[in-house]
Structure 1
Amino acid sequence: MARLSRNKLEQMTWPIAKIYTEIQTEILESIAEALANDQNALEDDVNAWYTMKLEQIGPIRQQGIKIIAKKSGLKTSKVSEILLNVGLAAIDSNESLLKRAMKAGAPLTEAPQPRDDPAIWRVLEAFERQSSSIFNMINTSMLNNCEQVYRDILTKATADVITGMKTPQQALRSTLGGWAERGIPTLTKSNGARMYAEEYATQVIRTMGNRVANDMQDARFDSWGVDLVEISSHEGARPNCAPYQGQIYSRSGNDPKYPALSDTSMGEPDGLFGINCGHFQYPYIPGVSTQRYRPVDEEKNEDAYENSQKQRNLERFIRKGKRELAVFEKLGDEVGMKRAQAKISRRQAQLREFIDETGRTRRRDREQVYA
């Protein structure tokens, strides 16, 4: 069986990020639909319009509850399935090597089959509980913040019309379009920076998938008695991971030839197996294993990392444009729709040019806001 890779991990966890992309888009569409009604009142009496629309915040919240509930059922079963599949993909590729090494006389302890190993299921259960807690928090935060987004749109649109800075339609286009670009806030960091639903959900599921894979591998290494591990390598590794990829380490720190795994950046948020990391560890049995990974040239790695970040940003900008288009369609704003479509076309052209220049693979699924 092929080893689990960073790209494979991203493909396996993307469906969860996709669900939150859809939730975010549908909530903003529901806000746009509410604002599409009674636009004449905004022109006739802006204060009366503000009061009338503020009274509709209850239905906005109820619609948010329906959207999240509908999608969350899919998410709950999907998360468990993804975590199990990621974990098994990580450990199954090791089993034949370990069995072969044991037959060759390596000092290993025969372990039960992966699916019969209680340690594997303990890891999965722990992460299922953790994922349930985190995604419930994301859902609650999205629900509360959709109200704040709605209030912000009403307040800013009203102020713009009262001061004469914008026409009613311009005011709605500006405020609603801005939130469509950003999304629904989900988390505020200690430095005040906001993370939005799609971005945060992507980070959570990808990090959790990586941790499940490595924790299940650790559990199997304990069952087999494996000490030496090889760290995977790929172009585009983060600066705090790059020095350690393609190297062999001792889990115990007691091997005379290889350095301790604890001496790496493991345990740091942006280090090995940390937030958004795509590295994995594999058993290394002297005399049996062939070192499959090698350190990547530093300059080449930095270029690949920079290009991967550029591509993700371009894909994100296309999704933002499509979300903006969807919102303006619900608002019935022809001018906004034309501008959003032009924005999408420009961003798609930028991505095509980037792909042609770098030779990277285009991922059209990452450019969509709906499946």
Structure 2
Amino acid sequence: MLAPDYLDHAPDALVALWQEVEDTILRDVARRIGKMDALTPTANWQLWRYQQTEAVRKDVVKLLARYTGKSEAEIRRLMKEAATAALEAEDEIYYHYGKEPTPFEESTPLQNLLNAGYRQTAGSFSNLTATTANTVSGAFEQALDRAWLQVSSGAFDYKTAVKRAVDGLADSMPYVTYPSGHRDTLEVAARRCVLTGVNQTCAKLQLERARQMGVRYVQTSCHAGARPSHAEWQGKIFALNGFYGV
């Protein structure tokens, strides 16, 4: 299996990409808020607000399209690197006992599993980023509305209202909201998505390699601090065919 230290740093390059996306989005939205005219008639304000929101949505879609291409290439690289590292570590055990595992690059079943894992992870990643444009434009609209209300009510002057709106953006966007209602920043969601894909894919590759080598039993790893539902499975021996017996 992959060491915790390896997994901890594996997504770093991808996370950095999406931190860059967040920074670019925030700068653009802050610039647009800063261009708010002090106070214009309500009809003009509503038209300007609509135009700016549509412009934000289109710009974010373009930005995401550009970075998604980079991210997909990074996901593919990461998956292959992790798969190679996971298999090389266990192949040493097979070599020690005189077995000859087929090189990873020459094994069609392993390559198919890796490609399936990549497609699933890339698909999950696309689903995460697909919601971002609407999330960003929604947060932008809310920031504009708050600033407008603060100025029109006389509670704050124009410059203070704009500054408060800009300062509040980092706390409200961009997020990925899950069906449960839980929210994560985009880079945190990307990290979780990739780690899940890497872990699941490498586990499938290792099980397939074990079957190829005629392995009948496996022992699960164990570590401190596991969740109760996971702890009960730690350090035990299981049969690959579903039946345990010695």
Q: Give me the TM-score of the superposition, normalised by structure 2.
A: 0.87
Alignment correspondent of 1:174 = 164
Stretches of 4+ aligned residues off by more than 4 angstroms? none
What's the CA shift for 1:115?
1.9
Say yes or no: does 1:153 pair with 2:149. no
Change (3 A) 1:125 1:230: same
Change (3 A) 1:18 1:248: farther
**Aligned residue pairs: how many?**
245
| Structure 2 SS opposite 1:229 | strand
Q: Which deviations, in whole Å up to 9, do the C-alpha atoms of 1:330-364 show, x marking residues without a partner?
A: xxxxxxxxxxxxxxxxxxxxxxxxxxxxxxxxxxx
Alignment correspondent of 2:17 = 19
What's the CA shift for 1:187?
2.7
Of 75, 78, 81, 2:74 maps to 78
Alignment correspondent of 1:90 = 86
Alignment correspondent of 2:244 = 255
| Structure 1 SS opposite 2:212 | helix
Is the 8 Å Cα contact of residues 220 and 236 (structure 2) preserved in structure 1?
Answer: yes
Partner Cα separation in structure 2 for residue 182 and residue 127 of structure 1? 32
Q: Which deviations, in whole Å up to 9, do the C-alpha atoms of 1:68-89 show, x marking residues without a partner?
A: 2332222111100101111111
Q: Give me the TM-score of the superposition, normalised by structure 1.
A: 0.60
Say yes or no: does 1:202 pair with 2:197. no
Q: Which deviations, in whole Å up to 9, do the C-alpha atoms of 1:13-33 show, x marking residues without a partner?
A: 222222222212211211011
Of 163, 175, 188, 2:178 maps to 188
Change (3 A) 1:188 1:167: farther
Change (3 A) 1:46 1:155: farther
The residue identity in structure 2 corresponding to 1:45 is T
Say yes or no: does 1:211 pair with 2:205. no
Alignment correspondent of 1:45 = 40
Change (3 A) 1:183 1:246: farther
Change (3 A) 1:240 1:168: farther
The residue identity in structure 2 corresponding to 1:213 is C
Alignment correspondent of 1:137 = 127
Is the 8 Å Cα contact of residues 30 and 63 (structure 1) preserved in structure 2?
Answer: no
Listed as ranges, the matches of 1:1-371 within 5 Å are 4-38=2-36, 41-42=37-38, 44-45=39-40, 47=42, 48-102=44-98, 111-190=101-180, 192-257=181-246
What's the CA shift for 1:144?
2.2
Which ranges in structure 1 are unaligned for 5 or more consecutive residues?
104-109, 258-371
Q: Which deviations, in whole Å up to 9, do the C-alpha atoms of 1:273-328 show, x marking residues without a partner?
A: xxxxxxxxxxxxxxxxxxxxxxxxxxxxxxxxxxxxxxxxxxxxxxxxxxxxxxxx
Which ranges in structure 2 are unaligned for 5 or more consecutive residues?
none
What's the CA shift for 1:50?
4.9
What's the CA shift for 1:138?
2.3
Alignment correspondent of 1:340 = none
* Stretch deviating more after TM superposition (80-89 or 44-53): 44-53
Is the 8 Å Cα contact of residues 87 and 216 (structure 1) preserved in structure 2?
Answer: yes
Partner Cα separation in structure 2 for residue 250 and residue 150 of structure 1? 54
The residue identity in structure 2 corresponding to 1:197 is L
What's the CA shift for 1:165?
3.4
The residue identity in structure 2 corresponding to 1:164 is G
Structure number with the bigger relative contact order (C-alpha 8 A, sep ≥ 6) is: 2
Alignment correspondent of 1:268 = none
Alignment correspondent of 1:274 = none
* Stretch deviating more after TM superposition (123-132 or 27-36): 123-132
Partner Cα separation in structure 1 for residue 241 and residue 58 of structure 2? 53
Change (3 A) 1:239 1:15: farther
What's the CA shift for 1:92?
1.0
| Structure 2 SS opposite 1:181 | coil
Is the 8 Å Cα contact of residues 14 and 74 (structure 2) preserved in structure 1?
Answer: yes
Partner Cα separation in structure 2 for residue 78 and residue 62 of structure 1? 25
Alignment correspondent of 1:314 = none
What's the CA shift for 1:242?
3.1
The residue identity in structure 2 corresponding to 1:140 is A
Partner Cα separation in structure 2 for residue 46 and residue 229 of structure 1? 72
Q: Which deviations, in whole Å up to 9, do the C-alpha atoms of 1:228-283 show, x marking residues without a partner?
A: 223233344334323433443333343325xxxxxxxxxxxxxxxxxxxxxxxxxx
Partner Cα separation in structure 2 for residue 172 and residue 46 of structure 1? 18
The residue identity in structure 1 corresponding to 2:70 is L
